[in-house]
Amino acid sequence: MGQFAQANGQATQATLPSNLFPMLFERLRLDDRLVVLDMGQATPSTVQFFNQFKCRLSFVDLYSADFVVNPKEEASHEELVAQFQVAINLPIGSRIDICLFWDFFTYLDGPALKAFIEALDPYVDSATRAHSLGILNARNGLPYCQYGIHGVDSLRQTAQVGSQLPIYPHSQRDLNNLLDYFEVDKSRLMPDGRVEYFLCENRNKRAKPNAYF
């Protein structure tokens, strides 16, 4: 694991090796125009990395969305789906090739995660690949970071300041239920207790009702 670099006595950046991140690029046709959806803030390293591809790179900072930061307990599933749809705001007909979820799932409880995945559904097909980070239980803790790409097999994490949102650990079994048409294809336990996931669409799951709730 990379150590946070020190600046003015405080931790700022670290490089995070990844065994699963390269899988996002294994089946890509590099001559085609890629559609990449990043759920965090735009980072120079991520923009620089994707400059080598012909792609549309969209940053959707859902971490800062008001309905995520200040969730309303009375919000219905339909209301949450509509809020996520507005926030994602991709052009009609777009199909995502790569989705970078980072650790966003961990800041959503079960109902919110189901609503988010439903809102994303129109933009996902059998070619979509995704990467995510998470924790299996709250005892491990979750570093409060902003993420970007360092290289094809490594991520860059930058320590955030301020108050961290509540976290909701999800087991791999729970994720597979909550993610509906997405499925955890590969997972890896990292040295600090976090887990990284490689996700892809499972057409068989699309045809079956989700009975998690």
pLDDT, residue 205, reads: 67
Q: Does a structural domain hold residue 131?
A: yes
Q: What is the reported pLDDT for 67?
A: 95
- Nearest Cα to 148, choosing from 13, 27, 8, 3? 13
Asked if 2 and 11 count as a contact pair (C-beta separation under 8 A), the reply is no
By residue count, the chain amounts to 213
Distance CA(213)–CA(79), nearest Å, equals 17
Does residue 212 lie in a domain region? no
Q: What is the pLDDT of residue 159?
A: 93
Structural domain includes residue 86: yes
Reduced DSSP (H G I as helix, E B as strand, rest coil) percent helix, strand, coil of the chain, to 5: 30, 30, 40
For residue 213, being part of any structural domain is answered with no
List the CATH number of the domain containing 27. Answer: 3.40.50.150
Q: How many domains does the chain have?
A: 1
What is the pLDDT tens value at each position of the chain, 213 positions in all? 444 444 444 448 899 999 999 999 987 776 778 999 999 999 999 999 999 889 999 999 999 999 999 999 889 999 999 999 999 999 989 999 999 999 999 999 999 999 999 999 999 999 999 999 999 887 878 999 999 999 999 999 999 988 999 999 999 999 999 999 999 999 999 988 899 999 999 867 655 444 333
The C-alpha torsion from 68 through 69 and 73 to 78, rounded to 10°, is: -20
Look at residue 22 and tell me if it is in a domain: yes
Residue 123's pLDDT is 95
Q: Is the pTM of this model over 0.85?
A: yes
Tokens of 140: 């491990």
Query: Distances from the Cα of 28 to the Cαs of 17, 22, 38, 97, in angstroms?
Result: 21, 11, 17, 8
Q: By residue range, what is the domain housing residue 180?
A: 5-206
Q: What is the DSSP string of 95-144?
A: --SEEEEETGGGGS-HHHHHHHHHHHGGG--TT-EEEEEEESSGGG----
